[in-house]
A and B are shown apart, each in its own frame.
Chain A
Amino acid sequence: MHETMVAQSLIEKIEAEAAKQKAKPVSAKMSCGVFDALNDEAMQLAMEAIGKGTVCEGMKLEIEHKPIKAECKKCQNIFDYDLVKASCPACGGDRLTLQPDVGLILEEIEFEKE
Chain B
Amino acid sequence: MYKFKVEERILSTNEEYAASNRELLAGKNKLCLNVISSPGSGKTTILARTIADLKGRMKVGVIEGDIQTDIDAQRIKAAGAKAIQINTDGACHLSAAQISKALKKLPIDKLDLLVIENVGNLICPSVFELGENCKIVVLSVAEGDDKCAKYPSTFARAAAILINKIDLLGTKHIDFNIKRVRKDIRKVNEDAQIFEVSAKTGQGMAEWYDWLAKSVGDPTSV
Q: Residues of A at under 8 Å CB distance from B?
A: 1-2, 5-6, 9-10, 12-13, 17, 21, 26, 30, 34-37, 83, 86, 94-98, 101, 103-113
Count A-B pairs with CB separation below 8 Å. Answer: 96
Q: Residues of B at under 8 Å CB distance from A?
A: 1-14, 91-93, 95, 121, 123-124, 126-128, 151-153, 156-157, 186-190
**Sampled A-B contacts (29; CB under 8 Å):** A1-B92, A2-B127, A2-B128, A10-B10, A12-B13, A13-B10, A17-B6, A35-B126, A35-B156, A36-B127, A37-B126, A83-B188, A94-B187, A96-B187, A98-B156, A103-B11, A104-B10, A105-B7, A105-B10, A106-B7, A106-B10, A107-B6, A107-B7, A108-B3, A108-B4, A108-B5, A110-B1, A110-B2, A112-B1
| Distance from B205 Cβ to chain A, minimum over Cβ atoms (Å) | 29
List A contacts of B121 (CB < 8 A): 1
Q: How far is the CA of A104 from the CA of B8 in the complex (A)?
A: 9
Q: How far is the CA of A10 from the CA of B9 in the complex (A)?
A: 9
Query: Please, which residue of chain A has its CB at the minimum distance from the CB of B5?
Result: A108
Q: How far is the CA of A97 from the CA of B187 in the complex (A)?
A: 9
List B contacts of A94 (CB < 8 A): 187
Contact assessment for A5 and B3 in the assembled complex, using a CB-CB cutoff below 8 Å:
no
Q: Helix, strand, loop or mixed for chain A's interface?
A: mixed
Contact assessment for B11 and A6 in the assembled complex, using a CB-CB cutoff below 8 Å:
yes
The 10 closest A-B pairs by CB, nearest first: A35-B153, A2-B124, A104-B10, A86-B187, A37-B153, A1-B92, A106-B6, A108-B5, A109-B4, A112-B1
Select which of A1, A9, A109 is within 8 A of B11 by beta carbon. A9
List A contacts of B153 (CB < 8 A): 34-37
Contact assessment for B2 and A107 in the assembled complex, using a CB-CB cutoff below 8 Å:
no
Q: How far is the CA of A103 from the CA of B18 in the complex (A)?
A: 15
| Distance from A89 Cβ to chain B, minimum over Cβ atoms (Å) | 15
List B contacts of A107 (CB < 8 A): 5-7
Query: Please, which residue of chain A has its CB at the minimum distance from the CB of B6?
Result: A106
B3, B8, B95 interface centre (most CB from chain A within 10 Å): B3
Contact of A1 with B124 at beta-carbon distance under 8 Å, contacts A104-B9, A109-B4, A111-B1 already known: yes
Contact of A1 with B123 at beta-carbon distance under 8 Å, contacts A98-B156, A104-B11 already known: yes
Select which of B3, B157, B190 is within 8 A of A109 by beta carbon. B3
| Distance from B181 Cβ to chain A, minimum over Cβ atoms (Å) | 14
Q: How far is the CA of A1 from the CA of B195 in the complex (A)?
A: 29
Contact assessment for A30 and B10 in the assembled complex, using a CB-CB cutoff below 8 Å:
yes
Q: How far is the CA of A111 from the CA of B5 in the complex (A)?
A: 11
List A contacts of B187 (CB < 8 A): 86, 94, 96
